[in-house]
Amino acid sequence: SSAVDITIVEDSLAKGAVCSDGSPSAYQFDKGVGEGINNWMVHLEGGAWCESVERCTYRAGKHVGSSKYMTGLNFTGILNNKKKFNPDFYNWNRILVRYCDGSSFTGDVEEVDPATMLHFRGARIFRAVMEELLAKGMENASNALLTGCSAGGLATILHCDNFRNLLPSSTKVKCVSDAGYFIHARGLLYVTRVNTNLVLYNRKDYAGGSSSADFFEQVVELHVLSQLTGLSFLIFNLIISVTRLQGSAKNLPPWCTSIMKPSLCFYPQYVVPQMQTPLFVVNSAYDTWQIENIMAPKRADPCGSWKFCKFNIYKCSPAQAKTWQDFRRAIIRALAALGRSSSRGMFINSCHTHCQTTLDSKWYGPAASRLMN
Distance CA 270, CA 273 (A): 7
Could you count the other beta carbons within 10 Å of the beta carbon of residue 143?
16
Please say whether the beta carbons of 48 and 149 come within 8 A.
Answer: no
Q: Where does residue 48 fall: left (phi above 0), alpha (psi -120 to 50 degrees), or beta otherwise?
A: left
Alpha helices (H) in 258-306, listed in sequence order:
268-271, 288-290
Could you give the residue ranges of the DSSP H alpha helices within the chain?
Answer: 12-15, 53-59, 122-135, 151-166, 211-222, 233-246, 254-257, 268-271, 288-290, 318-336, 360-363
Name the active-site residue from 150, 210, 226, 284: 150
Using CA of residue 26, residue 6, residue 29, residue 279, what is the dihedral sign?
A: negative
How big is the chain, counted in residues?
373
Longest dimension (CA), the chain: 68
Residue 223 bears catalytic tag? no
Side-chain half-sphere of 352: how many Cα atoms within 13 Å? 10
Q: Active-site residue among 25, 214, 354, 360? A: 354
Q: What type of residue sits at position 103?
A: S
Q: Is 354 assigned a catalytic role?
A: yes
Catalytic residue among 205, 287, 326, 360: 287
Written as one letter, the residue type at 358 is: T
Of residues 372, 345, 369, the one with CA closest to residue 356: 369
Which phi and psi (to 5°) does residue 120 adopt? -120, 90
Mark whether 159 is an active-site residue: no
SS3 content of the chain, % helix, strand, coil (to 5): 35, 15, 50
- Residues annotated catalytic, as ranges: 150, 287, 354
